[in-house]
Chain A
Amino acid sequence: MSGDDSTARFERIVQPHLGDAYALARWITGDRADAEDVVQDACLRAFRAIGGYAGGNTRAWILTIVRNTAYTWLARNRNAVVTAVDDLVAAENANAAQAAPFAGGRYDANPEAELIARADAAKLEAAITALPPQFRDTLVLRDIQGLDYREIAAVTEVPVGTVMSRLARARQRLIEAIAGDDQ
């Protein structure tokens, strides 16, 4: 592939999603300057990979690169503990057992919609930031960035069933967090 082709493809495939890329990087790193670094890094990777890009959902493709770049970046620059994939399943099970958000009879104890509706932006943001990373990413991709389940499965590299359970648990935790300290 010639340089011109790569350039044109990059402009067409990657540039339109820069806003989404930045937003996701910002949620993962929690910092705007770091998000810029991550996006630049990710774009460089995307540019290099673009010759082999087979087509398909461009936004899911670039967000996958951004997410992977962000976690690599965190591991390198902040010595963040990045949970290995195997551990994620265990962590998720532990989280599920601990939170058991949908256990029988729990529905009635859950906060009502009116209580949730009082949350302001700062509280929402803090609650999202406090979510475990795999829950947070799924929620951000769905409820803030508007990806569908299949796209989220592609970006986070898990089956759709896992996306569904993560999303439900993420929302449940968020609801509890924003309603919880509002009594």
Chain B
Amino acid sequence: MTGPMTADAHDKDDRTALLVHAYVDGELDPANAIALEQRMASEPALAAERARVEVLRRLLRERLPRETEPPALREKVRRAVGLTRRRAQPTWMAMAASLAFAIFASSTGTWYAMQPPAASTVPDAVISGHLRALMAPQPADVASSDRHTVKPWFSGRIPLAPRVVDLVQDGFPLVGGRVDVVNRVPVPSLVYSRRQHLISLTAVPNVSAGTTTSQTVQGYNMIAWTAEGTTYWAVSDLNLEELQLFARLFRAAPS
């Protein structure tokens, strides 16, 4: 608590000062509080310290504006953890539930829906992009775990840079990004990893309504969802539960 050069006398004063602060904070037991009150009555320096601390505390309480959270924050938090979706929302625990559960959930209006993809060529193209990446020396054209490196890299290559979020805390580190071609249009793909598995997340400009599909193609799990005019395709050999977790985290993450 004190510096190596400190003398004993300094230590003692230091401790007494701590007691004055603890006294003002109501943290002293009655015996110590009485003893300190007696000392403060006879030692002006201690009384002055007490006065300063009390004034400071009053200032902080009365003069500093109370910081209140923005009204929208509560709703943002609810959305981030999935509370705004009504019944049967998939929580992390429920993620372990079967695909059958997911299909059931879709019928109750949550974001799962087993619908055929709008154009069957899109998932094929996305899978091809993923496979090509797995066979290439590098799965990403820009290899970086920093989203502030990856996002600008896209800006010079395609009209619309994708949403890039950092999920390293959740166990999905960003590996990088690349440009894939879907329907002869260059589109951004982000590459994330989970243990030894790679996840390609391809963002295809789209105007269709927001439904989510999950399917298995050639042994690869795919999940698609639409947000803000873009359809995201996540493809990986990762198990479906964890891929769903990834999709959910990506959607919930602040960009």
On A, residues with C-beta under 8 Å from B are 1-3, 6-7, 10-11, 14-15, 18-19, 21-23, 26-27, 32, 36-37, 39-41, 43-45, 47-48, 51, 72, 76, 92-94, 96-97, 100-104, 107-108, 110-113, 116-117, 119-121, 124-125, 142-144, 148-149, 161-162, 164-165, 167-168, 171-172, 174-175
Contact = CB atoms under 8 A, between A and B. Distances in A.
A104 B21 contact: no
B56 interface: yes
Nearest to A1: B93
Given A10-B81, A76-B168, 16 more contacts: A3-B88, A7-B83, A22-B68, A22-B70, A22-B73, A27-B67, A40-B73, A40-B76, A100-B3, A102-B16, A104-B9, A107-B46, A113-B51, A164-B22, A167-B25, A175-B56
A119 B9 CA distance: 32
Query: Helix, strand, loop or mixed for chain B's interface?
Result: helix
Contacts of A111: 52
Interface in B63-85: 63-70, 73-74, 76-77, 80-81, 83
A97 to B, nearest CB: 3
B80 A6 contact: no
Interface in B1-25: 1-6, 9-10, 13-14, 16-18, 21-22, 25
Given A3-B89, A110-B48, A116-B55, A165 B76 contact: no
B140 to A, nearest CB: 20
Contact of B21 (A96, A120, A167): A167
Contact of A44 (B48, B80, B93, B94): B80
B247 to A, nearest CB: 15
23 contacts: A2-B93, A3-B90, A15-B74, A19-B68, A36-B254, A48-B92, A72-B169, A97-B3, A97-B4, A107-B45, A113-B55, A116-B52, A116-B55, A116-B59, A117-B55, A121-B65, A124-B59, A124-B60, A148-B25, A149-B25, A165-B2, A171-B21, A171-B56
Contacts of B77: 14-15, 18, 39-40, 43
Contact of B252 (A7, A44, A101): A44
A144 B33 CA distance: 23
Contacts of A143: 56-57, 60-61
A93 B83 contact: no
B48 A3 contact: no
A95 to B, nearest CB: 9
B223 to A, nearest CB: 19
Contacts of A142: 25
Given A102-B17, A124-B60, A168-B17, A36 B76 contact: yes
